[in-house]
Structures are given as C-alpha cells and as structure tokens.
DNA sequence: GTTCTAGAAC
DNA sequence: GTTCTAGAAC
C-alpha cells in the first residue's frame, strides 16, 4: 500500500540509489514509537550547497565548459536544489517517517534550526492545495516533536513557519529557536526573513489551506527584507547587525 | 542559499 | 582607518 500512497518515494529511490534510506525507514516503521528517531552524525560540512565558484576556481587548469557531465551537474548541483540532496542523506536526517524528514539547517540562524520536508516533491507553497492539508499538519506536529526531544529546548521559545519567498527549492518548514544566537546570522535579510511578516506562521498557512485550499502570499514581501533591524523581543531599533547581535544577548535565557 | 568585496558609513 | 552593508556571481 505504501507504493500506492507514496509512489514518488519509490521513484526517487530508484533514481538516487539510497540503500541507507531503505533500511532506515524500515527500522522506523517496525519501531513505530512516538519518540524521535535520532541518527545524527556530528561531523560538519555535509557539502550539499555547491559553491558555484569553488569547484572550477580551485583548479589551475581552465576546465572546459559545456561538457555533458558538468551540464548535468549544473541542474542537480545548483545551490537552489541543495535541500533535495540533503534530505536524502542519512547523515543529515534528524528524524524521518513515511511522510516527512527533518534535517538541521546547514547554516542555522539560531541555536536550534531545523527544516521539516515532505518526501513528496512539492516545490513550494505555491504548489500546495487542500490535498496537502494533513501533510502540513503532520509537518507541524513533527516539528513540535523534534523541539520536545531537544535537550534544553524548554528554556527557549520556538517558532514554526515558512519563508514567503524561499530561496531553496522543495517546500520546507523552518523550526527555529528564538535566541537567534548564531554566527550564520549575518545580514538584514537573514534577520527580517524570520522577524517580519515574511515569516509565515505554520498555523496560519495551515488555516489558509484549510479555508481557501491554497496559500496566497501578500504583495510587498521583498521590501520587508529591507526594513530596519528591530528586536523581536522588545521592539527596539538597532542600527547594525553587530549591534543587534549584542542587544540580543539581553534576552538570552538565564 | 552563500561568498566575496567595493565603497558607503562611521 | 576600520566597520559594515549590499549587490554580483556567466
């Protein structure tokens, strides 16, 4: 029955040959507990986001362009497709079940920052219909479970939501702690994407799908990313990223 | 999404 | 002079 319900999983596996994934899912299915299945490798750099410059530039020999291999790599190896690769990598997977997988964000913008992704190849919220309602609810529930499973999470506040205009392909739910204590948080766009209306609450998205059958994103989203930096806890305006980051320390849990 | 860096801002 | 931001990346 799994094949009928999730034909895309089979397709994807055949394409990418991921034997690890197969055993992994079986294990989870047979276990069938509510607890989060942890299988995290603590090593760094998974190497999913290919820097367009790093590969050709490192080589002193001016490699020819337009080869079959490099052309194919362009489409699959493009940075915007990185999540599709990461989510298939067992070393990246924090949790998985029949419908979704959770990975750590490769460049976390807070102490805890996960992405919940469906196995179904849904490119973005634009492609979401009422048929995905239960899936979106499940993604939210799984996000909350990962939080509950995380040591020290009870001291932190979390938000779950989607970026109005995501850069990475494949729909992904951000689960992020509200400390925003991370060296990867570097610019205004990073801040505003999580701290303005650009961040669409998961619950609001679910409600929208429930009532309208689709997700509509208001106009003016790109402009939100350029708004002045404002503290999400006390609304104070800060003149620069370094000063914002210094200010945020005040609100860290004690 | 990130890196890199010119030149604006301080 | 140094810090910081913002736009290009073929």
Catalytic residue (choose from A138, A172, A232, A251):
A172
Residues A14/A95/A41/A166 CA torsion (nearest 10 deg) = 80
Residue A24 belongs to a domain: no
Protein residues in reach of strand B (CB < 7 A): A 49, 51-53, 79-80, 107, 163, 166-168, 184, 186, 189-190, 193, 239
CATH at residue A222: 3.30.428.10
Question: What residues make up the domain containing A143?
Answer: 79-251
How far the first Cα of chain A sits from its last, in Å, is 50
| pLDDT for the residue A203 | 98
Distance of CA A108 to the CA centre of its chain: 10
- Is the separation of the CB atoms in A189 and A223 below 8 Å? no
* C1' of C8 to CA of A51 (Å): 14
For chain B, which bases have at least one atom within 7 A of a protein Cβ? 1-4, 10
Residue A26 belongs to a domain: no
For chain C, which bases have at least one atom within 7 A of a protein Cβ? 3-6, 9-10
Say which residues have a Cβ less than 8 Å from residue A186's Cβ, sequence separation at least 6: A241
Residue A244 belongs to a domain: yes
- How many structural domains does chain A have? 1
| pLDDT for the residue A13 | 36
Which phi-psi region, left, alpha or beta, contains residue A160 (left: φ > 0; alpha: ψ -120 to 50)? beta
Residue A99 belongs to a domain: yes
| pLDDT for the residue A77 | 87
| pLDDT for the residue A71 | 56
Residue A47 belongs to a domain: no
Residue A25 belongs to a domain: no
Length of chain A: 254
The reply to whether A240 has its C-beta less than 7 Å from any atom of strand C is yes
Residue A71 belongs to a domain: no
Distance of CA A54 to the CA centre of its chain: 24
* C1' of C9 to CA of A53 (Å): 8
Residue A120 belongs to a domain: yes
Active site residue A172: yes
The reply to whether A65 has its C-beta less than 7 Å from any atom of strand C is yes
Per residue of chain A (254 residues), give pLDDT as tens: 443 334 444 334 333 333 333 333 333 433 334 444 444 433 333 334 344 444 433 334 444 444 454 554 457 789 999 999 999 999 999 999 999 999 999 999 999 999 999 999 999 999 999 999 999 999 999 999 999 999 999 999 999 999 999 999 999 999 999 999 999 999 999 999 999 999 999 999 999 999 999 999 999 999 999 999 999 999 999 999 999 999 999 999 99
| pLDDT for the residue A76 | 76
């Amino acid at each position: 029955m799994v094949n009928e319900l999730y034909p895309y999983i089979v397709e994807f596996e055949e394409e990418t040959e991921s034997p690890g994934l197969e055993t992994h899912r079986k294990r989870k299915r047979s276990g069938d507990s509510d607890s989060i299945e942890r299988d995290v490798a603590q090593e760094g750099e998974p190497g999913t986001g290919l820097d367009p410059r790093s590969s050709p530039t490192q080589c002193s020999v001016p490699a020819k362009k337009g080869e079959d291999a490099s052309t194919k790599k362009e489409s699959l190896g493009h940075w915007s497709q990185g999540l599709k690769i990461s989510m298939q990598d067992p070393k990246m997977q924090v949790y998985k079940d029949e419908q979704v997988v959770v990975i750590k964000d490769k460049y976390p913008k807070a102490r805890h920052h996960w992405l919940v992704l469906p196995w179904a190849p849904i490119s973005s919220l634009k492609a979401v219909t009422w048929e995905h309602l239960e899936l979106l609810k499940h993604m939210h529930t799984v996000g909350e479970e990962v939080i509950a499973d995380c040591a020290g999470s009870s001291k932190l506040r979390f938000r779950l939501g989607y970026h109005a205009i995501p850069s990475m392909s494949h729909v992904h739910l951000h689960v992020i702690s509200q400390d925003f204590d991370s060296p990867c948080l570097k610019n205004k766009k990073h801040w505003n994407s999580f701290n303005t209306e650009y961040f669409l609450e998961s619950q609001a998205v679910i409600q929208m799908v429930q009532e309208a059958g689709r997700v509509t994103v208001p106009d003016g989203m790109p402009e939100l990313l350029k708004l002045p930096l404002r503290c999400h806890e006390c609304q104070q305006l800060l003149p620069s990223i370094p000063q914002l980051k210094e200010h945020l320390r005040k609100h860290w849990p004690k």
